[in-house]
Amino acid sequence: MSKYVTAETVSPGHPDKIADLISDYVLTKALENNSSSRVAVETFLTGTKNGGLVLVGGEISEIASISTDDVIEIVKEALKITIKTSFEDFDLDNLSIYNELTPQSEEIRAAVEDDEDQGAGDQGIMVGFATNKTKSFMPPTFDMSRNIQKSLWDLQNSDEMLDLDSKVQVTTGGEKTKVVVSTQHNKAIDMEKLFKEVSDIVANNVKSEFELDLNPSGSFVKGGPAGDTGLTGRKIVVDAYGPSVPVGGGAFSGKDPSKVDRSAAYAARHLAKNIVAHKLADDCLVRVSYAIGKADPYELTIETFDTLKVEQSKLDDFVNKFVKSKGALSDSDTFTFSCKSNKGEVILGYSKINSNRISINVECECDGDVEPISFSAKYLKEILNACLLYTSPSPRDRTRSRMPSSA
């Protein structure tokens, strides 16, 4: 019997992703107002007999200074780029928008901020994964679905006969790759033309024989929150790697970096990608767990599924350096470069008494040996610290889709 693998992605116009986007808009605004803001926001959207409802709730620190007027403006801004068509039960000009944000719990605030080392904003399990089977280091079936969805999103935005809600599902493992695409459209759409356009998109992303099932329900005119309710965090499997990789359980959107559901999941993905990119293993899963208020994880597990290409000690050394590197940066005003026999070395925390000294080997071409030279660490810190978090398109960047978070 064939081993089937199925993965799904949805567009930014799907009601759950609209909810994610609004929550992240609130987060962005809060961090713009004060970079120390603590934010955990969720959004609910639904059609109603009175023209539709959007409810923004959650916990947010007072220093974020988010007003009801801010929430109304944020909701309208997000809907402007994710919905083309109003319906009677979700009318873009007649929505009821509610701000139910409340102050963050004092107990959570104290647990996160009172220690010298910032503690985790909640307990939980986070997973990161990478494979060398695709350029994106994503599972192949998920990668296909995601790439089809990206191209479909471009078509949806450029074709006036299409609206912005869509789903793509890909199943591999059989004689043919099976692709299911549901995309919202105008009543007067030419379905034969649409089938040809979507078939071309699929053919560009599936390099084997495939079978396309377009809009299995026959018609998909009413979409977005008018068709289904939207809720922040409901597409966590889509945000990660599809069902082929375990999911930790916590949603990503609307959460500041103190919420390890998001930041630790991105860091775990970053570590997994680096292990695979450095050819230490073909596949890698990183799993961490945290307790609220504690800075260090209770678990750090690395699983390579019998694909490890180096001695275990070398992998352990790589992981230890990766985990320690941020601490070394915080102690360092400079970084140091040296080269001997065309083998370069970047050293963080060059001082001999710095216990967090980190050495990174780099390829270089030098005319002779270079004795250690120190440079300002300001810009290197910014680059490396940014790499520890996911660098997705900003929610306010209207020119690009906000695709699954683990890209």
Question: Within a domain: residue 359?
Answer: yes
DSSP run (H or E) holding 131? strand 124-131
| Nearest-angstrom CA–CA distance, 90 and 93 | 9
Is the pTM here over 0.75, yes or no? yes
Q: What is the pLDDT of residue 352?
A: 45
Q: What is the pLDDT of residue 378?
A: 58
Question: Within a domain: residue 371?
Answer: yes
pLDDT in tens, 57-115: 999 988 889 999 999 999 999 999 999 999 999 999 999 999 999 998 777 777 777 55
| Nearest-angstrom CA–CA distance, 12 and 5 | 24
Q: What is the pLDDT of residue 335?
A: 67
| Nearest-angstrom CA–CA distance, 263 and 269 | 10
Cβ of 261: how many Cβ atoms within 10 Å?
Answer: 24
254: pLDDT strictly greater than 60: yes
Question: Within a domain: residue 114?
Answer: no
| Nearest-angstrom CA–CA distance, 115 and 294 | 9
Question: Within a domain: residue 197?
Answer: no
Q: What is the pLDDT of residue 7?
A: 96
Range of the domain at 398: 324-402
Of the candidates 140, 139, 132, the one whose C-alpha atom is nearest the C-alpha of residue 308 is: 132
53: pLDDT strictly greater than 90: yes
Question: Within a domain: residue 396?
Answer: yes
In the block, residue with structure tokens 């601490």: 327
pLDDT in tens, 384-406: 444 433 323 333 344 333 333 33
Buried-exposed string 21-37: b where 16+ CB fall within 10 A, e elsewhere = bbbbbbbebbeeeeeeb
| Nearest-angstrom CA–CA distance, 116 and 162 | 53
Quote the number of domains for the chain.
1
Q: What is the pLDDT of residue 153?
A: 96
208: pLDDT strictly greater than 90: yes
Q: What is the pLDDT of residue 183?
A: 98
pLDDT in tens, 313-359: 999 998 888 776 654 444 556 667 778 777 777 666 544 444 445 55
Scanning 52-139, the segments in alpha helix (DSSP H) are: 68-80, 106-113
388 vs 244: which has the higher pLDDT: 244
230: pLDDT strictly greater than 70: yes
Mean pLDDT to the nearest integer, 113-123: 71
| Nearest-angstrom CA–CA distance, 146 and 9 | 6
For residue 77, give Cα distances in angstroms to 21, 28, 172, 242, 385. Answer: 10, 13, 38, 29, 30
Q: What is the pLDDT of residue 283?
A: 98
Question: Within a domain: residue 367?
Answer: yes
Question: Within a domain: residue 335?
Answer: yes
Residues 6+ apart with CB under 8 A from 67: 99
Question: Within a domain: residue 342?
Answer: yes
Q: What is the pLDDT of residue 348?
A: 60
CA triplet 350, 355, 356: central angle to 5 degrees?
70
Residues 6+ apart with CB under 8 A from 311: none
Q: What average pLDDT does the structure give for the chain?
A: 85
145: pLDDT strictly greater than 80: yes
Buried-exposed string 313-328: b where 16+ CB fall within 10 A, e elsewhere = eebeebbeebebbbbb
What 8-state DSSP symbol labels residue 368?
S
Q: What is the pLDDT of residue 377?
A: 59
Question: Which token pair is 238?
Answer: 């889509």
Q: What is the pLDDT of residue 109?
A: 74
